Amino acid sequence: MRRFPPERIVCTTEETVETLYLLGEDRRIVGVSGYAVRPPRVRREKPRVSAFTSADIAKILALEPDLVLTFSDLQAEIVRELVRAGIAVHAFNQRDLAGIFAMIRTLGALVGVPEKAEALARDLERRVERIARATASLPRPRVWFEEWDEPLISGIGWVEELVRVAGGEPIFPELAREKSAKDRIVPPERVIEAAPDVILASWCGKKVRPEKIAARPGWEAIPAVRDGRIHAIPSPLILQPGPAALGDGLDALLAALWGPEAARRLAAA
């Protein structure tokens, strides 16, 4: 890092972009992921320099960043190239709710606003805790969260945690601990056997087709399919481990499980 706090930051994933905006530190951002859509004005305010597993290294270097923020082992090659070019990089790797709150606090420290980051993290923590209390006494529908369809991949850690916060019960809780998508692959027959009451789907970069899910061989026996309880959750809301998942993403889970009116009451409880 050339100076502290860094004045020129590139974010290669969405959650650090949104966090910096929420902290009022968006002036520091000089480049973003092409997937960054929160807040909406980021699309017109910041140049796009990366996808998820790839980045325009030359474009990033031309921006002369003091710091590049990355996420997960899937961006390890991007990190390697940037480090070799002499760029300071911080690689986040949060996979659960505790990791999301730590990311917010760490990012605040990195940009010299730890108090603002602590306030944001605490607000989001209190929201999650409040909703968890509000749903604790409700009947708990069994939920299959589908992160990908070919092959079937179950929800990652923070997603399954939020399903529980929203009042659902993941059908494969043991898989939520697996960090790699390949370790969360599930044969279709296991989903049929588990008989979820609700199916939630969010396919990153691809539109969810509930009718395609319902038409899978043998899935007509699943209660969620029989009762028409298949819901799409937009991936920018739930599959990025940051404020979006704790806000609009959690609200979308509540609406899918309990309906829009009940979701509003639970979120305001």
Is 166 within 8 Å of 131 (Cβ atoms)?
yes
- The 10s digit of each residue's pLDDT in 218-228 is 999 999 999 99
From residue 35, alpha-carbon distances to 26, 46, 156 in Å are 16, 12, 19
Percent of the chain's residues with pLDDT above 70: 99
What residue ranges define each of the domains in the chain, with the CATH number in brackets? 1-93 (3.40.50.1980), 129-268 (3.40.50.1980)
Is 198 within 8 Å of 229 (Cβ atoms)?
yes
3 has a pLDDT exceeding 90? no
Confidence at residue 205, expressed as pLDDT on a 0 to 100 scale: 81
- The 10s digit of each residue's pLDDT in 13-26 is 999 999 999 999 99
- The 10s digit of each residue's pLDDT in 160-214 is 999 999 999 999 999 998 988 899 999 999 999 999 999 999 998 899 999 999 9
Is 51 within 8 Å of 33 (Cβ atoms)?
yes
Confidence at residue 108, expressed as pLDDT on a 0 to 100 scale: 98
Instruction: Locate 230 and state its tokens.
Output: 């298949």
Confidence at residue 4, expressed as pLDDT on a 0 to 100 scale: 87
152 membership: H or E segment, kind and range: strand 152-154
1 has a pLDDT exceeding 80? no
Predicted TM-score of the model (pTM): 0.95
Q: HSE on the CB side for 83, CA within 13 Å?
A: 11
- The 10s digit of each residue's pLDDT in 101-152 is 999 999 999 999 999 999 999 999 999 999 999 999 999 999 999 999 999 9
- The 10s digit of each residue's pLDDT in 15-66 is 999 999 999 999 999 999 999 999 999 999 999 999 989 999 999 999 999 9
| DSSP label of 23 | T
